Amino acid sequence: MKAASSQPLRAARSKQRSTKPSRPKVIVNFAITWDGKISTRNLTPATFSSKGDKRRLVEIRAQADALLVGKGTLEKDDMPMGLPSEALRQQRVARGQTAYPMRVVLSNSGRIKTSLKIFQRDFSPILIFSTTRMPQALRDELSPRATLHLTAGDAVDLRAMLAELRKTYRVKKLVCEGGAEVFRSLLALDLVDEIYITLCPAIFGGEKAPTLTGLAGAFLPQTISCKLVKMEVADGECFLRYKVVR
Ligand SMILES: NC(=O)c1ccc[n+]([C@@H]2O[C@H](COP(=O)([O-])OP(=O)(O)OC[C@H]3O[C@@H](n4cnc5c(N)ncnc54)[C@H](OP(=O)(O)O)[C@@H]3O)[C@@H](O)[C@H]2O)c1
C-alpha cells in the first residue's frame, strides 16, 4: 500500500531532477551611490567603490561560467573581463570549471570597437550576441577573435540567447556586470534571479547620470520585488544580496 502510493511521488521527483533548466541562473552585480546612480553624467567608468568591493567583484566573477556585459559598459569601462587572481583560477579548475569564465557581449547595432581591451586578451572564449545589422567589415574583423551569434531583426532575443548559452555552451551560472540598459531589458523579461548591490557612500546627482535601470524615466513594465538574503558591512560600504521574488 505504502509502496504503491509513493510511486507517483518518486516519478514526479525523478522527472523534476531530469528536467534541465532552460536557461542559466542569472546574477546581476552593481555598485550604486546613495542616490542610486551607477555612473556620472559623463558615464565615467565605475571606479567609485572600495578596493574591497573590487576584490569581491572578482570573487563573484570567479563563480560564473560566463560573464555578460552590454556594449556601453564594455566601451566605457574597457576591461578585458579577466580573473587576475591565480588562486581563484585554481579553485575554478578544481571545481571542474575552465580557468576563466566565458565573456559574452550584447549589442543590437553590432557596432563594437575592435580596439577594446577584451579583444586583445585571449584567455577565454568571447561570444557576441548581436543582429545582422552588424556591418560585414566588422564581422570579418571580429570573427577571428569572437564567436558571432547574429540574428535577423532589430534586437537580440534575450530568452533565446540565454537558452543558447545553457544548451550549447553549458552555462549554468551567468554573472551580468551591467550596464543599466542590459539590466533593464533582463528585468523586463523576468530573467534575473539574484541582484548583488554595493551601496557606496557617494552622491553623484545629475539628471543624465544613469541609475540602475538607466536614465530617470526609463520604463519597466512592472515593479520588481526582492528578498534580502545577505548584508555585509565593510570599508564604509554596505553589500546587499537579494533574491528576486516571483
Ligand atoms: N556601477 C556599476 O556597477 C556599473 C556596472 C556596469 C556599468 N556601469 C556604468 O554604466 C554605464 C553604461 O550604461 P549603459 O546602460 O549605457 O550600458 P550597457 O547596458 O552596458 O550598454 C548599452 C548598450 O548595450 C547594448 N544593449 C543593451 N541592452 C541590450 C539588449 N537587451 N540587447 C542587445 N543589446 C543591448 C546596446 O548596444 P548597441 O547600441 O550597440 O545596440 C546598448 O546601446 C557606464 O558608465 C558604466 O561605467 C556601472
Asked, colleague to colleague, whether 27-44+179-246 and 65-172 share their fold, the answer is yes
Per residue in 6-32, pLDDT (tens digit) is 455 555 555 555 577 899 999 999 999
For 138, phi then psi, to 5°, come to -70, -40
Q: What's the 77 CA to ligand 1 centre distance in angstroms?
A: 10
Residue for grid cell 585571449: 122
Grid coordinates representing 175 are: 554573472
Nearest residue to 21 via CA among 243, 191, 195, 225? 191
Nearest residue to 197 via CA among 169, 231, 165, 239? 239
Per residue in 176-186, pLDDT (tens digit) is 999 999 999 99
**Residue 74 Cα: closest atom of ligand 1:** 20
Per residue in 177-226, pLDDT (tens digit) is 999 999 999 999 999 999 999 999 999 999 999 999 999 888 898 999 99
CATH of domain 65-172: 3.40.430.10
- Please say whether the beta carbons of 130 and 156 come within 8 A: yes
Beta-strand relationship, 194-199 and 66-70: unpaired
Domain extents in the chain: 27-44+179-246, 65-172
Instruction: Quote the pLDDT of residue 219.
Output: 83
**Residue 183 Cα: closest atom of ligand 1:** 19
Q: What's the 8 CA to ligand 1 centre distance in angstroms?
A: 47
Q: 27-44+179-246 adopts what CATH topology? A: Dihydrofolate Reductase, subunit A (3.40.430)
Per residue in 63-122, pLDDT (tens digit) is 999 999 999 999 999 999 999 999 999 999 999 999 999 999 999 999 999 999 999 999
Instruction: Quote the pLDDT of residue 2.
Output: 36
Q: How far apart are CA 158 and CA 189, in angstroms?
A: 8
